[in-house]
A and B are shown apart, each in its own frame.
Chain A
């Protein structure tokens, strides 16, 4: 299939055009880009590769196999939904910057999943970072500016780690090809670290918590779709069956749910939820069996849909009310019923309610855990999936749309937002009802049937009683209240400790410079002054001497010379 364009190119060209067009033309163009891209990538066959010679290397900017193609389809779908969702943007919302950045961002994500070598991967990896930062900055607040900057720096840390790892790898092995990497050697660990940052591994995760809630309502939808999924893809490609991933994934699935319970900002709650979901994927990749990998990528696919849907619904709330905090919201179902329903579809999906798409992929991972013999991880993940119900399944829709009436009366969001959410919701349900749609695309042949009675029933029991616990706690009024506060997380290390360290080091360097200069001056000045006393206009060496003393000097000189010779 040589007639295909590189998938990223469609988006980059689209971005260029979006920068120079306005109004309806641009809207049409924006919608056409993912559609055209999808048609293009649909024509790409497995095994297709585009190679070129560059700087003495043979690069492979496009290499298609089942894994990358799956992510390729997914990203087109995600881009389509998110683009439609953001069609309403106006000039005051930095529409041009947002549209252009979003298309570049989506294109870079496509580039990354089709990249066949480390140089190409690095390029798209960094482009992802740079373009996405604009989606945060575009919100134009002091908070978002700083958060965006922190985000960018962390992302670039990931980028330079990848670069360093790639450099070492090419230096050690002479090959640039991006395939299985594994954890042997420093280069492997560096690449692992790079992907880990983007995948929000525990302690490397806080950029996500910090930055996503600061993005624009529309921008965060893009953000939620691409960066972490590229990381999941890269893990699946480079580190399948790496045991440490199982534990990392378990940790990722568990710790955020505690934070999610007490987080007031609903978009931040979703960000925690996101880490929790990625935890499932990472865990699956760590298990590494065909079933597990299938489950992980299927879950990534589904996560893009339902997490996108949830972010979209919260974005709609934010767009209409300007608020995202649980303590500020409530009772919106009265004026935003459609949004509320769509949000609940998303909540059901993420909670893995049967007939919704979360169920069909998450259960694959759970089964794979047992098949893989991770008997102690399975209950942990089970706990985590129950926890999802708590914060994403109940908390999000409940506090935004029901709960205590905040008194806010608003309208449904713009039609394009509703349309986008509807598309996502339909996809969630469609996959939930007909899992074969998704299974057919997975990298390995699927022989898995989620819908057997035992499975469905246990899942319903788990969910129902988990919700029951919440209900009980609510009724007993010991459920933790929504409080306006921030919760310390790993970002403290760079927002507080790191920032102080950099500031102080900078000042220390500057002061050291000054001190050094003044020390040098302290040494030089007395020397200069001494020399000046002797050599200055009135110093003995520059004065006009009377003839007598000159003659005396001559005599001394002669005496000295003779003495010197005779001694």
Chain B
């Protein structure tokens, strides 16, 4: 309702265009680069720490080195790809149910 009530003038200028991919351009590129680098550092630190610390797994799969890191990365990759595929199946126009 609120979407409908708000006049079009409030819509961002991009809204009229076909949905484009978002770019993280609300954060200045300089900062986003720094954030990305920081994040990369965190990943590396986590891996290194993982080798240093004594990781005692509860589950047999945890014996695999870097199991959690791999599982996280692959899991999310799979998740995103499957979701993209899911769209083909379930996506409908926004007003699909409006003719009830």
Contacts and interface: CB of A to CB of B under 8 A. Distances in A.
Contact of A262 (B20, B21, B87): B87
Nearest to A469: B76
Contacts of A237: none
Contacts of B96: 486, 488
A126 interface: no
Contacts of B86: 258-259, 262, 487
Contacts of A477: 21
A473 B76 CA distance: 10
Most chain A Cβ neighbours within 10 Å, of B13, B36, B97: B97
Interface string B81-93: 0111011011111
Contacts of B57: 454, 458
A39 B100 CA distance: 48
A485 B1 contact: no
Given A404-B26, A486-B92, A488-B92, A378 B19 contact: no
A319 to B, nearest CB: 10
A328 B24 CA distance: 14
B59 A378 contact: yes
Contact of A387 (B11, B12, B75): B75
A483 B19 contact: yes
Contacts of A547: none
A466 B73 contact: yes
A407 B39 CA distance: 27
Nearest to B53: A453
Contacts of A290: none
Interface stretch (A139-147, A238-246, A538-546): A139-147
A406 B13 CA distance: 8
A62 to B, nearest CB: 40
A462 B1 contact: no
A485 B50 contact: no
A403 B73 contact: no
Contacts of B54: 453-454
A318 interface: yes
A553 interface: no
B8 to A, nearest CB: 12
B53 A386 contact: no
Q: Chain A: interface residue count, which band?
A: 35 or more
Contacts of A484: 19, 94
Interface string A474-496: 10011111111111110000011
A383 interface: yes
B22 A485 contact: no
Interface in B1-50: 1-6, 10-15, 19-27, 36, 39, 42-43, 46-47, 49-50
Nearest to B78: A383
A403 B49 contact: no
Most chain B Cβ neighbours within 10 Å, of A367, A460, A471, A488: A460
A469 B70 CA distance: 10
A454 B46 CA distance: 11
A457 B24 CA distance: 29
A261 interface: yes
Interface string A74-86: 0000000000000
Interface string A364-394: 0001001000010011001100110110000
Nearest to A399: B22
Contacts of A403: 22-24, 26
Nearest to B44: A464
Nearest to B61: A379
A483 B86 CA distance: 14
A485 B21 contact: no
B76 A387 contact: yes
Most chain B Cβ neighbours within 10 Å, of A258, A458, A473: A458
A375 B60 contact: yes
Given A404-B22, A479-B80, A489-B90, 20 more contacts: A139-B2, A257-B79, A318-B2, A322-B6, A326-B22, A327-B19, A389-B72, A399-B22, A407-B12, A408-B10, A453-B54, A462-B69, A464-B39, A469-B73, A469-B74, A473-B80, A481-B19, A481-B20, A481-B21, A488-B96
Interface of B: 1-6, 10-15, 19-27, 36, 39, 42-43, 46-47, 49-50, 53-62, 66-77, 79-80, 82-84, 86-87, 89-94, 96-97, 100
5 contacts: A322-B2, A466-B76, A467-B39, A483-B19, A487-B87
Lowest 10 A-B CB distances belong to which pairs? A141-B1, A331-B26, A405-B26, A261-B83, A469-B76, A466-B72, A465-B72, A465-B73, A461-B68, A462-B72
